[in-house]
């Protein structure tokens, strides 16, 4: 039997924890060989390599080294570089994850070379087309051949857009697989001690959406509110490189550094970050993945956005959309025990990769 070759596209921080469980599950199979293609969209050690280490991924089989740039530059460079690899190596499947520029770029390349494309984490919609990720989601789902969804609301979004239901496999949430795979190491990391904090006595902050951090006014107001809120609840702020750059450009870094109750840190490794989140009183974020991880852990998540592509984390989980001016009041609810912590959604159980391999085998006619 010829081994089927499967390219797993890894590009940016949130992709690695989605691809890792799939890589490990496919590595157990005898009918296929999984190869990792790193586009290089994220490249700092603590935005990329540290995740390969924590998630026990081997070095990428191919590295496109595209780096940063405008949307067109980045998407275009990934397309140009990945087309060379895909044409030369002719994979049987291309799996793209999430909603970053590399996701759409590689989906376009695969589709035009008539290689079946699988979209891992399909069907999420914020309804906000000013988010670059929403465009990436809509376009990727429109051209992918197989759509792996995390929950029923994602299936409904796709069906509403006339995606035929035979393309959809609801397999669950891969991020939870990574958490479960590393749960022992996460529980053993001593981040609370390292930051001299008290369990449930602090909030974790992570922000990087352009709508929050790319404009001086909105970033200044975020810094001001976090500063006031940290008087009642100490904070650890793991600063994304986009955000660090903007804080510097807008002259806000010194103001943030002067806050006695906010510990600033570089982006943390996955094990370190999840250890800190799991003992936190609350998380303040605009991250997509963190909304899901906090729902799984039942940790109050205050999402500083107007919309979310993950409404199930609000309907069933521990997430709430919060306007920046309401941050202090909502943190008060958390501290008074009045914030709803919800339940875990169906199929967020650590077995998404297992289900997706069964589904793919069926489509590959090898089951
Ligand atoms: C990207 C994704 C976003 C995702 C986020 C996860 C797109 C359109 N955006 O946003 O959906 O939520 O990743 O973190 O795909 N930089 C570094 N080092 C790095 C990477 C980036 O310093 O390793 C800096 C560069 O100055 C770069 C900026 O961060 O210009 C933004 O990086 P980019 O990948 O364009 O977008 P993100 O904000 O990271
Ligand atoms: N994360 C991390 N270290 C950090 C911040 C986030 O390991 O300092 C992890 C987090 O646990 C989640 C993922 O990064 O698994 C989310 O990525 P990000 O917020 O960059 O992207 P998004 O999900 O918003 O696209």
Give how far Cα 23 sits from Cα of 9, 52, 213, 330, Å: 11, 11, 33, 39
* Residues facing 119 on adjacent strands: 96, 147
Residue 321 pLDDT > 90 = yes
Give the residue from 16, 87, 95 showing the smallest Cα distance to 48: 16
31-42 tens-digit pLDDT = 999 999 999 999
Our answer on whether the CB atom of 174 is closer than 6 Å to any ligand 2 atom is: no
Residue 114 pLDDT > 80 = yes
Our answer on whether the CB atom of 244 is closer than 6 Å to any ligand 1 atom is: no
What DSSP letter does each residue of 250-263 carry, written as one string? TT-HHHHHT-TTEE
Is-catalytic flag, 71?
no
74 CA closest ligand 1 atom index: 35
Our answer on whether the CB atom of 131 is closer than 6 Å to any ligand 2 atom is: no
Q: How far is CA 230 from the centre of its chain?
A: 26
Whole-number Å distance, alpha carbon 35 to ligand 1 midpoint, is 23
Whole-number Å distance, alpha carbon 112 to ligand 2 midpoint, is 31
In the block, which residue shows the tokens 């940016």? 12
Contact 204, 268 (CB under 8 A): no
Closest-approaching ligand to the CA atom of 205:
2
Q: How far is CA 140 from the centre of its chain?
A: 16
Protein residue with least CA distance to atom 17, ligand 2: 14
What DSSP letter does each residue of 109-152 carry, written as one string? HHHHTT--EEEET-----S-TTSHHHHHHHHHHHH-SEEEESSH
Protein residue with least CA distance to atom 3, ligand 2: 268
287 CA closest ligand 1 atom index: 12
pLDDT for the residue 16:
98
Q: Do domains 4-173+348-363 and 184-335 have the same CATH topology?
A: yes
pLDDT for the residue 284:
98
40-92 tens-digit pLDDT = 999 999 999 999 999 999 999 999 999 999 999 999 999 999 999 999 999 99
Second CATH level (architecture) for the domain 4-173+348-363: 3-Layer(aba) Sandwich (3.40)
For helices 174-181 and 288-297, the axis angle rounded to 10 degrees is 60
pLDDT for the residue 1:
67
Give how far Cα 6 sits from Cα of 39, 42, 116, 324, Å: 16, 22, 10, 43
251-264 tens-digit pLDDT = 999 999 999 999 99
* Torsion from C-alpha of 208, 263, 300, 217, nearest 10 degrees: -40
- Compute the distance between CA of residue 6 and CA of residue 291 in angstroms, rounded to an integer: 29
Give how far Cα 67 sits from Cα of 206, 228, 240, Å: 22, 36, 16
pLDDT for the residue 2:
85
Stretch 213-222: mean pLDDT: 97
Q: Token pair for residue 323?
A: 């306007």
Best residue among 14, 103, 288 to mutate for probing ligand 2's pocket (most ligand atoms within 8 Å of CB) is 14
Stretch 111-134: mean pLDDT: 98
Whole-number Å distance, alpha carbon 16 to ligand 1 midpoint, is 14
pTM recorded for the entire structure: 0.98
Whole-number Å distance, alpha carbon 226 to ligand 2 midpoint, is 20
278-319 tens-digit pLDDT = 999 999 999 999 999 999 999 999 999 999 999 999 999 999
Q: Where are the domains of the chain?
A: 4-173+348-363, 184-335
55-66 tens-digit pLDDT = 999 999 999 999
Give the residue from 344, 349, 341 showing the smallest Cα distance to 301: 341
Q: Token pair for residue 295?
A: 């729902």
Residue 289: what are its φ and ψ, rounded to 5°?
-60, -35
Q: How far apart are the first and last CA of the chain?
A: 13
Stretch 154-164: mean pLDDT: 98
Our answer on whether the CB atom of 42 is closer than 6 Å to any ligand 1 atom is: yes
Mean per-residue pLDDT over the chain, rounded: 97
What DSSP letter does each residue of 177-203 carry, written as one string? HHHHHTHHHHHH--HHHHTT--TTS-E
Whole-number Å distance, alpha carbon 231 to ligand 1 midpoint, is 30
Least confident of 1-10, 16-25, 101-110: 1-10
Our answer on whether the CB atom of 238 is closer than 6 Å to any ligand 2 atom is: yes
Best residue among 52, 68, 126, 293 to mutate for probing ligand 1's pocket (most ligand atoms within 8 Å of CB) is 68
* Torsion from C-alpha of 150, 116, 137, 135, nearest 10 degrees: 180
Whole-number Å distance, alpha carbon 290 to ligand 2 midpoint, is 6
- By CB atoms closer than 10 A (0-12, 13-18, 19+), residue 268 is buried
Q: How far is CA 176 from the centre of its chain?
A: 11
- How many Cα atoms are found within 13 Å in the side-chain-facing hemisphere of 126? 20
* Residues facing 320 on adjacent strands: 302
* Residues facing 35 on adjacent strands: 7
7, 119, 208, 240: the catalytic one is 208
Give how far Cα 178 sits from Cα of 16, 272, 341, 345, Å: 9, 14, 22, 16
Our answer on whether the CB atom of 133 is closer than 6 Å to any ligand 1 atom is: yes
Looking at CATH, the fold of the domain delimited by 184-335 is given as Rossmann fold (3.40.50)
């Amino acid at each position: 039997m010829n081994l089927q070759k499967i390219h797993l596209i890894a590009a940016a921080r949130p992709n690695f924890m989605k691809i890792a469980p799939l890589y490990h599950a496919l590595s157990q199979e005898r009918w296929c060989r999984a190869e990792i293609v790193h586009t290089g969209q994220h490249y700092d050690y603590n935005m990329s390599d540290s995740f390969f280490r924590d998630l026990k991924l081997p070095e990428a089989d191919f590295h496109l080294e595209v780096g940063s740039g405008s949307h067109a530059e980045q998407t275009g460079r990934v397309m140009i570089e990945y087309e060379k690899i895909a044409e030369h190596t002719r994979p049987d499947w291309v799996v793209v994850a999430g909603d970053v520029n590399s996701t759409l770029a590689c989906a376009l390349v695969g589709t035009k070379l008539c290689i079946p494309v699988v979209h891992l984490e399909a069907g999420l919609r914020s309804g906000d087309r000013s988010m670059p990720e929403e465009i990436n989601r809509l376009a990727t789902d429109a051209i992918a051949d197989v759509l792996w969804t995390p929950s029923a609301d994602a299936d409904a979004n796709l069906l509403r857009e006339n995606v035929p239901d035979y393309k959809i496999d609801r397999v669950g949430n891969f991020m939870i697989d990574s958490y479960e795979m590393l749960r022992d190491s996460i529980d053993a990391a001593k981040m609370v001690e390292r930051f001299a904090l008290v369990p449930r006595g602090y909030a974790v902050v992570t922000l990087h959406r352009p709508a929050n951090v790319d404009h001086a006014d909105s970033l200044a107001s975020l810094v001001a509110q976090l500063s006031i809120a940290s008087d009642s609840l100490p904070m650890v702020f793991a600063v994304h490189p986009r955000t660090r750059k903007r804080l510097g450009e807008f002259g806000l870094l010194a103001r943030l550094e002067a806050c006695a109750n906010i510990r600033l840190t570089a982006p943390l490794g996955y094990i370190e970050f999840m250890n800190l989140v799991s003992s936190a009183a609350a998380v303040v974020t605009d991250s997509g993945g963190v909304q899901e991880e906090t729902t799984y852990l039942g940790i109050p998540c205050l999402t500083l956005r107007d919309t979310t592509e993950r409404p199930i984390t609000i309907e069933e989980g521990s997430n709430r959309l919060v306007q920046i001016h309401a941050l202090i009041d909502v943190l008060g609810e958390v501290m008074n025990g009045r914030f709803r912590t919800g339940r875990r959604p169906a199929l967020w159980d650590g077995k998404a990769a297992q289900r997706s391999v069964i589904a793919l085998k069926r489509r590959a006619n090898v089951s």
